[in-house]
Amino acid sequence: MKISKLFSREKVVNALTSGGALRFRITHSSLLHISLLILILVIAAVIRLLPIRWGYQLSEFDPHVHYRLTKNMVDNGFFAWTSWTDTMAWYPQGINFGRNLYPGLAATAAFFYQIADALNLAPAPILNANVYHPLTADPVFNFVIIFPVIMAVLTVLVIYFVGKDIGGKEVGLFSAFFLALNSPYIGRTSLGFFDDETVGIFGILLFIFFFLRSIDPERPLRNSVVYGVAGGLSLGYLFSSWGAARYAIGISMIFVLVLILLRRYSSRLLLSYSATFGVALFIAANIPKLGFQFLTEPTILAVAGMFILLGIYEISRYIKTSRNKAFFVFAFLALIVVLYIGLSNLGVIGSLESKFLSAINPSTRIGESTSQQLVQSVQEHRPATWGSLYFDVGIGVLFIPVGLFFAVQNPTNRNIFLTIFGLTAIYFAGSMVRLTLLLAPAVSLLWALALVQVVRPFITILREGPKIARRKMRFRPRVGKEFSAAFIILMFLLLTVTFVLPSFEADYPRVVSRAYSPTTIASSSLPIRPNEPVRDWLDALNWMRVNLEPTDVVASWWDYGYWITNIANKTTLADNGTVNSTQISLIGQMFMSNETEAIKFLKKYDVTHVVVYHSFRQDPQTGEVSDAIYGDEGKWRWMAKIGGLDDNDFGNTTITQGGLGTSWVDAGDYNGQEDQGEQVPDEEGMSTVLYKLMHYGREMVLYGSSEIELEHFAGPPEGYFSQKVQNIGWFPDGQGYYAIIVCVYKVNYD
């Protein structure tokens, strides 16, 4: 056959014509819809990239241990961590990563990193930076810094589909928009915040999306099974990533119970429930941190109890007579009660961890035990105030009850779940500051539903065509188009209060202000937004990394353990994992002891160096220098309390914003109030190791000498001070100037 016949003109024309029929067709509204969604995703990413001006580094403390686990997975394989005991933390016993960390976040980041590395998209090492960070030479470290931004974009995309199922495309778009600009969620997913919450909210929303689709009666039964398994995989992923997976279980149990009470039980519900929680609990039981004992927790037993209850309903449907049905239901309920009592007496049923109980009942966090004092010492574990909730949610506070009203008014399965989600999220957000993060997706969905439902009638009026017939004029709607347009404009102007108008603390919008905050280490733990990064902590960590021996052991308050282990690459006694409250208590006692007693503890644990962090303020008029509250001088009371000591024994004043080494004597006017000039030195407080190490370092950099004599501790050149003598970097705070110093002392046992 000739080539000319094979490629004849007619055949070429027909081929091109048929190819044109395969063109991708999209309507104008769909194109606009997709464009808006892409724009929202871009906004979500850009907002979270703003902290890059403070340097390429992890924020807060916990992200550093998650990076450490991710690095281990990349270097040694995904399952090597299960038997890894890190001896550089919690010296001398070390810490078993498999038993103490959830692997989901690290495994996800390691998986994405290997894909990016295979495609040659992994971030390159950063060697030239304004503030040197030793870990930026590691591509894995650089990748986990941007990983929260990636997950935030994916989460915003997931909530779009959840909102779309609840109320249509408009609700989906607004839900995505509100979550993209939600202040608490930005704070937990911005550049460098590589923590469990990064994938936690993603897992919760993914579970909600699949689980609600699995019980949708309009879908084929085969699809319900597929969605149920997908929901189980999502919940299992959440179990492997975040302890708050118990919250997802809780709201699911309440939701299923409400469906039963509303007589909405169906065989599809039992099938979906079985597939979802069967897969999820199988995954949970194989996570080393949870194990099979996790299946004995009250929350998991509630899952089993609900499954039995659903089974009772299913079987009772086939019993014809009401008498037999009632007897059957009663017998099984009695059996459940007997089994629970029997297993409780045998000690089979476990207890819920104290931190989860404290979220349900905040009063359990109040007490004098070491663990309770440890929980109270963490700022984000404290109950939220209405003012803080409004600051985080903004004008959306007004739309939450409206969204709940519309959800209850139209009680579909999804709206019932949304109502439970919203009410429980509000409760837990008020219970603990950290859990305002759980409120973020619930608020976004309720806000979007409320806005769309309120605005929709007025949009319908605007779309109405003109009515010409005079005899129908009396049926004209009372709300005119002008009023409708004004109302819609007002609704969107309200959004500017939260998303456009500047906040009180800065000259730019609140969401930008939250994202623009420096990483914790870039501000050296100071609650400020400096003009440039504060180098004290990074300089001290770099000095320890270079100058200390690999066998050296560093003692500090537990707050700084992750930094010292990961950035300084040195062994520590305690870190932010707080897995050993007894050892933290002993460290607190050491800092609040005199040198003679402290050296006994330090020698027992082979400590070679001690780190203290001190902040102080200078009065611009008198030049007087006093303690601030941002360093260890603001934490000493917790050191004493966690150590089982009476903090008032070391100083009882409050007017000096710390009081260590200062006591109040009601002299002169005897008015029962702490006035200026009524503070006297407290000898016991001034003899503590913490007081001496902080004030020795401060006096040395301020004046070049100190009246404090150290017997067992040596500063420079054997140790290190982050500030130079008589060349201190001061920061204005509105009432004067303050500075910080990180001191590394060499321990001398001779």
Distance CA 546, CA 537 (A): 14
Instruction: Render pLDDT for 315-324 as a digit per residue (tens, 0 to 9).
Output: 777 776 777 6
- Provide the number of structural domains found in the chain: 1
The SS3 of residue 622 is coil
Instruction: Render pLDDT for 445-496 as a digit per residue (tens, 0 to 9).
Output: 999 999 999 888 777 776 666 555 555 445 454 556 666 677 777 777 777 7
pLDDT at 12 over 60: no
Burial class (CB in 10 A: 0-12, 13-18, 19+), 185: buried
For residue 727, what pLDDT is reported?
A: 82
Average per-residue pLDDT in the chain? 84
Q: Please tell me which of 30-39, 357-366, 607-616 the model is most confident about, judged by mean pLDDT.
A: 607-616
Torsion 542-543-547-548 (CA) sign: negative
Amino acid at 660: L
> Between 464 and 250, where is the model more confident?
250
For residue 383, what pLDDT is reported?
A: 65
Cβ atoms of residues 171 and 218 within 8 Å = no
Q: 26: Cβ–Cβ under 8 A, 6 or more apart, which residues?
A: 34
Q: At residue 733, what are phi and psi to the nearest 5 degrees? A: -130, 15
For residue 347, what pLDDT is reported?
A: 65
Classify residue 280: in a domain, yes or no.
Answer: no
pLDDT at 5 over 60: no
Distance CA 106, CA 199 (A): 10
Kindly list the distances between the CA atom of residue 689 and the CA atoms of 46, 90, 595, 629, 714, in Å, as whole numbers in the listed order.
46, 21, 6, 18, 13
pLDDT at 737 over 50: yes
DSSP 8-state symbol, 465: P
Distance CA 667, CA 409 (A): 65
Distance CA 246, CA 244 (A): 5
Classify residue 594: in a domain, yes or no.
Answer: yes
Distance CA 62, CA 336 (A): 41
For residue 457, what pLDDT is reported?
A: 78
For residue 16, what pLDDT is reported?
A: 53
pLDDT at 736 over 60: yes
pLDDT at 641 over 70: yes
DSSP 8-state symbol, 299: H
Q: Per-residue confidence at 296, pLDDT binned at 50, 70, 90?
A: confident
Classify residue 100: in a domain, yes or no.
Answer: no
Q: Which structure tokens are listed for 637?
A: 């009371």
Stretch 218-237: mean pLDDT, rounded?
A: 92
Cβ atoms of residues 168 and 181 within 8 Å = no
Classify residue 223: in a domain, yes or no.
Answer: no
Burial class (CB in 10 A: 0-12, 13-18, 19+), 24: exposed
CATH number at residue 651: 3.40.50
Q: Please tell me which of 232-236, 268-272, 378-382 the model is most confident about, judged by mean pLDDT.
A: 232-236
Q: Per-residue confidence at 209, pLDDT binned at 50, 70, 90?
A: very high
pLDDT at 529 over 90: no
Kindly list the distances between the CA atom of residue 491 and the CA atoms of 133, 228, 340, 708, in Å, as whole numbers in the listed order.
46, 38, 52, 63
Q: Residue 519: name the closest of 222, 131, 182 by CA.
A: 131
Stretch 410-415: mean pLDDT, rounded?
A: 93
DSSP 8-state symbol, 464: P
For residue 300, what pLDDT is reported?
A: 86
For residue 682, what pLDDT is reported?
A: 82
Q: Per-residue confidence at 719, pLDDT binned at 50, 70, 90?
A: very high
| Helix ranges (DSSP H) in 516-560 | 536-547
> Between 291 and 368, where is the model more confident?
291
Cβ atoms of residues 530 and 518 within 8 Å = yes
Q: Which structure tokens are listed for 218?
A: 């309009």
> Between 292 and 17, where is the model more confident?
292
Q: Per-residue confidence at 258, pLDDT binned at 50, 70, 90?
A: very high
Q: Residue 539: name the closest of 729, 689, 397, 676 by CA.
A: 729
Let me know the angle formed at the C-alpha of 739 by 736 and 744, rounded to the nearest 5 degrees. Answer: 160
Q: Per-residue confidence at 694, pLDDT binned at 50, 70, 90?
A: very high
pLDDT at 27 over 70: yes
Classify residue 6: in a domain, yes or no.
Answer: no
Classify residue 701: in a domain, yes or no.
Answer: yes
Which domain covers residue 657, as residue numbers? Answer: 536-667+674-747
% of the chain at pLDDT higher than 70? 81
Stretch 46-60: mean pLDDT, rounded?
A: 87
Pairing relation of β-strands 553-555 and 609-618? parallel
Let me know the angle formed at the C-alpha of 234 by 232 and 236, rounded to the nearest 5 degrees. Answer: 65
For residue 656, what pLDDT is reported?
A: 46
Distance CA 731, CA 270 (A): 62
- Length of the chain, in residues: 750
Q: Per-residue confidence at 152, pLDDT binned at 50, 70, 90?
A: very high
| Helix ranges (DSSP H) in 346-385 | 354-360, 370-376
pLDDT at 649 over 80: yes
**Strands annotated E in 439-581:** 553-555, 571-572
Q: Which residue has the tokens 């949870």?
A: 290
Lowest-confidence region among 373-382, 441-450, 668-677: 373-382
pLDDT at 1 over 50: no
Classify residue 624: in a domain, yes or no.
Answer: yes
Classify residue 361: in a domain, yes or no.
Answer: no
Lowest-confidence region among 282-286, 322-326, 573-577: 322-326
Distance CA 447, CA 401 (A): 9
